[in-house]
Amino acid sequence: MTTEEAFKVSSLRGKVSLITGASSGIGAGTSLLFAKLGAVLVLNGRDVENLQKVAKQCTECGAAEPLLVPGDLTDEETVKKTVEQTIARFGRLDVLVNSAGILAMGGIENTDLAQYDKVMNINVRSVYHLTQVCVPHLIKTKGSIVNVSSVNGQRSFPGVLAYCMSKSAIDQFTRCTALELASKQVRLFLLESSSTCCFPLLKENTKLHIPPLHPSSCFFYQFLAKCKQTHALGRPGEVEEVAHAIAFLASDAASFITGVNLPIDGGRHAMCPR
């Protein structure tokens, strides 16, 4: 048995995994990898068409057909429905991956309260609420939670104030909740990503950056050039690289780890430009 085969056998096979933001980017890439690893998938996303495309790609990998629960997680009824349908279909929940999120540009002088509320509601409040509803089921399975954050949570950047604040909030939320649930053997992880591209995945980027980093645009090439300076490894990350880290943290291979902050950012978090 190869190392890869051993990891597949011991990691996520058969584990019921709820992944949010699954219609694009990191959430979609994580869904595909979990499918290859034999996980039972519940996928949430706001883009129904893309969510169906991701589900089709998952089944083409040999996975069982995912349960799709599309909708906006800022709606409390959508959160409750998502968990209720998961338990009704599968009877359990083993893994929660909170990947849904938005980025909005603006600083203290030009960010209105409507934008601030939107960012905080999607990036923080919905994560808090969904986790809260999932916890009783995760306690039963001694499950795991992976919260996808950003280098913006621990490093300061002008022009994306509300987004940076939201990611800092998720960082603290993860650490506090990890300590609260440790005695019940529920493990929590914070995965901090940086700039990611995903050409193989739906032929587009994570849809988080503004403007869209399409491979045919001049801005895209400017972005790649800048990554040589902002990332120690000299390039943006691939979605698959982030997904592999999420799979490791969610799996039994990380059974003695909790509350950890794992940057998957090509060394960007450690850099201090001079």
What are the two backbone dihedrals, phi and then psi, of residue 15, each rounded to the nearest 5 degrees? -85, 130
Q: Is residue 74 part of a domain?
A: yes
pLDDT tens for 155-196 read 676 778 888 889 889 999 999 999 999 999 999 998 876 554
Q: Is residue 272 part of a domain?
A: no
Q: Is residue 163 part of a domain?
A: yes
Q: What pLDDT does 213 receive?
A: 47
Helical H segments across 47-156, by residue range: 48-60, 76-90, 113-120, 126-141
Residue in 135, 158, 155 with CA at minimum distance from that of residue 145: 135
Q: Is residue 274 part of a domain?
A: no
Mean pLDDT is highest, among 86-90, 109-113, 230-234, for: 86-90
The active-site residue out of 116, 128, 163, 221 is 163
Q: Is 128 a catalytic residue?
A: no
pLDDT tens for 30-75 read 999 999 999 999 999 999 999 999 999 999 988 899 999 999 999 9
Q: Is residue 273 part of a domain?
A: no
Per-residue pLDDT band for 212 (boundaries 50, 70, 90) equals: very low
Q: Is residue 200 part of a domain?
A: yes
* Share above pLDDT 90 across residues of the chain, in percent, rounded to a whole number: 58
- 135: containing domain: 3-267
DSSP state of 151: G
In whole numbers, what is the pLDDT of the chain averaged over residues? 83
Per-residue pLDDT band for 203 (boundaries 50, 70, 90) equals: very low
Give the residues across from 16 on adjacent strands. 40
Domain count for the chain: 1
Q: Please tell me the pTM assigned to this model.
A: 0.84
pLDDT tens for 128-162 read 999 999 999 999 999 999 999 876 656 676 778 88
Q: Mean pLDDT, to the nearest integer, of 249-272?
A: 82
Q: What is the side-by-side strand order in the sheet with 187-193?
A: 67-68, 40-43, 16-19, 95-98, 144-150, 187-193, 260-264
DSSP state of 119: H
The CATH number assigned to the domain holding 105 equals: 3.40.50.720
Q: Mean pLDDT, to the nearest integer, of 224-242?
A: 70
